[in-house]
Every structure is written in C-alpha cells, then in structure tokens.
C-alpha cells in the first residue's frame, strides 16, 4: 500500500524520505533527553542516519514511516513516527519521536491518534502494540491517554544493538462488537455472564457497575439472597437483567421442583427466572437418577410453559445423561453448562449439544486459576498482547460458547467483559482446541 499523508489538528504526517536525513540527523542527535530513550538518536553521523532511512524500508507493507511536520511552521520537520510490523509478535507496533523544542504541545497525542486510526481503518488491524522506556513517563501517559493498556515488560536495545533499556509494553484495545447468543426458542442473552459462586458480598453491585447484566447463581451456592438483594438495590429494571439459577439433586422430584423454584425466586426477589438449570444429573449413588431427572424436567417444563421461566436447561449433563431427557420428555434442553476451558473442552459433549441445537455454556472458563501460569497460554497471550485470562475467555467466545467468569475485583470484572477487541486466528484456535488436558477440576458427574 502507498503510504498516505495523514493530517491532524496541528500536524501533517507525510511519507518520510531519504532527503529528510540531514534535518533528522541534526534534530535527533542534538537532543540528549530524547536520545536517552530513542534508538535512532545514537547515530554518530549523517551517514548513519542515511543508512537507517534506507534500512527502515520507508514505504513497504511492513514499515510505514512518516515525517512529522508542523502545519503552522511551513511544514517544519520536527520528528518522525511510524508503524512497523513485528514478525515475532505478528502485530504492528507504533512509535514516534519529536525534537525537544516541540515537546509539550500535545503533538505526541495527535500523532498516536492518527497512527491508530491509520492502522485500524487502512491496515485493518485489531491489535496494536506500543512500547515506552519505563522512565519515559510522558510517552506512557500519551499512550494511555490514547487508549493503550499495560500488558507486560520487555527489554529493548538501542540502535547500537548493545545498550539495553527496559520497556513497558502496551496494547491498544480495538473495541470489537459483542454478539448476543440466541437459544433455539428465540431467547437472547449476553455472551459474558457474571458467575457468582464464592462471590463476596458487594460483588454483584460491582459487577453491575462493570456492565454485567447476566448473573449465574444456584441454590447450591447459598447466595441467592445476596444476589437478589444487590440486584434489587441497584434499581436496574428487571427486564434489563438476565437471572439464571439451578436446582440441586437434593431438590429433585416433580412436586419438589415447584417448591425449589419458589424458594429460588423468593430469595432472588423476582417473579420469574430467565434461565433455570438442573445443576448436576446424579446425586451420589442414586440408582433412580433417571426417573428423578425426568420428573424434575417435566416440572421445569410446566413452569416454562406457564411463563415463569424463559428458558430451561441442564448443567454437567454428558450425552448419556442428556438422552434421558431427549428420549422421555417433550421439551428439549436449551442450554448445557459444562466445565469448559483451554485444556478441557469436552468435545464429545459439545458436539452432541450442537447436533441437538443446545447452547453450550462454560463454567470455570478460567480454570479457576489453574491455567494462570501455563507457558503455552502465556506465550500465545503475549502474541495477541492480552492477558492469559482474556485469551482464555476469547477462545471460548470464538467457539460460540457463553462464559461465566467469576471475580471479586472490579478491574478484573471489567477486563473479563472486554474481550472483543482481538481475534484469535484459525491456526491458533485449532492449536488451543487440541492441547492435551490441562487444569481439569476433577469433578465428573458419574465418578
């Protein structure tokens, strides 16, 4: 692609040319403050700058270099900027350099905003890398102001290839579109729910603040009162919320299911549920589980038909459990909530659900912290410039699986919602899907 000229409020960013060498050399080398951080400023002669300008391959599809010119000063060249493809990370990096006499005029922010726009609109990038030397707080401030977020630290070398400097690496988060999921009965819902198991008091309030509207609870969690009272106290209209609860095997039975449902909605301070699930197919050692599941499901179906529940489903049902309902009951489950995360994808159960038009949902999508340090996940997360947690959640989302991450921390809650700004490519999706078993909880409905 031919390098365009970009215009900002005060600047023209035009293609950098070899003719700019003398100006660039004079300005960059004369600035000891910049040269502390910038690799180009270690040039010892005009020849070196000339070489550099040739070396950066000014107009290619891997490096787009711009001269930064001030519109009000007859297009005076006051710096350079560019975007460069980093083969190793498979991502474009942005950078800029302004001569000291033009600092503190907001040019850094204008440049970064223009480059980000260029990368998104013209080069169609979804992830952008930025880096600043850890002591160069001004650069860090500019990047954060432009929407970059800190990801990790790495060492970099100046142009001499020897002088090392420590950098903070940041990522620009291209806000992607989150797609709602839809069940076979037409009920739609957010792809990311707030999982409430072991959530501390106050967490639901924080989750609402972070933007969650779908809450997953269960009678087994013994927190329906807490969830209900925090949702009520928020004043958010009931129709904007999606509330899911679950019935535990010790509540199974036709009559007992109506009672369990009433207990749950009363604690949750609501007159209906958006989703009600059979939490677990079998109470330990129960030889009668099949008839008890059928009785329970038939009662849930009645509540569904009466409009007390908008969708009904199951959890931890493997195909042989699901067949009990499919073979004996009128209504097919709409959801199966299973332990699913990188390293434990239960593909046989997922495929079975898909073949029956049953939506698949992931519990413990982060492996409840067991996958945190995994080097394969960390390495790939670095490639996409995201945290391992975002990679884990996005992976499930791209597999059309809704997710229920739990956190007690507002910043982490927000992070877990913000997973749509990058796309894992097909090769990496296939690689992650085929990893050997990792982080399994050990919880199996038949064992």
Ligand X SMILES: NC(=O)c1ccc[n+]([C@@H]2O[C@H](COP(=O)([O-])OP(=O)(O)OC[C@H]3O[C@@H](n4cnc5c(N)ncnc54)[C@H](OP(=O)(O)O)[C@@H]3O)[C@@H](O)[C@H]2O)c1
* Interface ranges with ligand X (CB under 6 A): 195-197, 216, 279, 315-316, 337, 363-369, 389, 404-409, 412, 415-416
Residue 177, class by beta-carbon neighbours within 10 Å (0-12 exposed, 13-18 middle, 19+ buried)? exposed
Residue closest to ligand X (Cβ): 195
| Structure tokens, 370 | 């067991």
CA distance readout (Å), 355 to 80, 168, 329: 56, 46, 18
d(CA 139, CA 38): 11
State phi, psi for 244 to the nearest 5 degrees: -120, 135
Residue whose CB is less far from ligand X, 298 or 408: 408
**413, 212 Cβ separation under 8 angstroms:** yes
Torsion of CA 403, 427, 418, 64, to 10 degrees: -170
Give residues with Cβ within 8 angstroms of 236, minimum separation 6.
208, 213
**405, 192 Cβ separation under 8 angstroms:** yes
Residue whose CB is less far from ligand X, 83 or 381: 381
Is 221 a catalytic site residue?
Answer: yes
The active-site residue, picked from 221, 276, 304, 384, is 221
Q: How many residues does the chain have?
A: 447
Q: Which of 120, 119, 145 is nearest to 132 (CA)?
A: 145
Count the neighbouring beta carbons within 10 Å of the beta carbon of residue 438.
Answer: 15
Torsion of CA 181, 184, 186, 190, to 10 degrees: -20
Q: Which residues are known catalytic residues?
A: 221
């Amino acid at each position: 692609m031919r390098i365009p000229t970009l215009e900002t409020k005060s600047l023209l960013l035009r293609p950098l040319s070899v003719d700019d060498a003398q100006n660039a050399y004079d300005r960059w080398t004369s600035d000891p403050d910049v040269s502390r951080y910038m690799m180009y400023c270690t040039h010892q002669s005009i020849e070196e700058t000339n070489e550099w300008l040739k070396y950066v391959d000014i107009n290619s599809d891997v490096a787009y270099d711009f001269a930064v010119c001030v519109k009000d000063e007859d297009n005076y060249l006051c710096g350079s900027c560019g975007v460069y493809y980093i083969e190793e990370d498979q991502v474009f990096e942005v950078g800029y350099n302004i001569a000291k006499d033009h600092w503190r005029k907001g040019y850094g922010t204008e440049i970064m905003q223009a480059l980000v726009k260029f990368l998104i609109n013209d080069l169609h990038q979804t992830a952008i890398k930025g880096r600043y030397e850890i002591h160069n707080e001004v650069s860090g401030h500019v990047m954060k102001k432009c929407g970059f977020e800190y990801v990790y630290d790495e060492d970099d070398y100046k142009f001499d290839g020897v002088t090392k400097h420590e950098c903070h690496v940041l990522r620009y988060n291209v806000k992607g579109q989150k797609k709602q999921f839809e069940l076979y009965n037409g009920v739609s819902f957010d792809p990311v729910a707030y999982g409430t198991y072991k959530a501390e008091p106050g967490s639901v309030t924080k989750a609402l603040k972070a933007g969650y509207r779908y809450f997953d609870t269960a009678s087994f969690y013994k927190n329906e009162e807490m969830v209900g009272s925090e949702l009520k106290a928020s004043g958010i209209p009931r129709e904007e919320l999606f509330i899911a609860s679950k019935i535990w095997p010790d509540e199974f039975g036709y009559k007992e299911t109506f009672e369990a449902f009433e207990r749950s909605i009363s604690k949750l301070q609501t007159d209906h549920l958006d989703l009600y699930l059979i939490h677990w197919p079998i109470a330990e050692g129960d030889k009668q589980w099949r008839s008890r599941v059928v009785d329970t499901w038939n009662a849930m179906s009645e509540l569904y038909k009466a409009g007390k529940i908008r969708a009904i489903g199951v959890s931890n049902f493997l195909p042989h459990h699901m067949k009990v309902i499919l073979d004996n009951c009128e209504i097919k489950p709409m959801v199966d909530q299973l332990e699913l995360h990188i390293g434990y994808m239960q593909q046989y159960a997922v495929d079975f659900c898909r073949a029956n038009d049953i939506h698949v949902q992931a519990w413990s999508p982060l492996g409840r912290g067991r996958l945190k340090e995994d080097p394969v996940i960390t390495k790939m997360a670095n490639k996409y410039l995201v945290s391992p947690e975002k990679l884990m959640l996005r992976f499930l989302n791209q597999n059309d699986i809704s997710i229920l991450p739990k956190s007690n921390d507002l910043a982490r809650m927000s992070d877990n919602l913000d997973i749509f700004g990058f796309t894992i490519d097909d090769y990496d999706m296939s690689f992650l899907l085929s990893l050997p078993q990792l982080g399994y909880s050990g919880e199996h409905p038949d064992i």
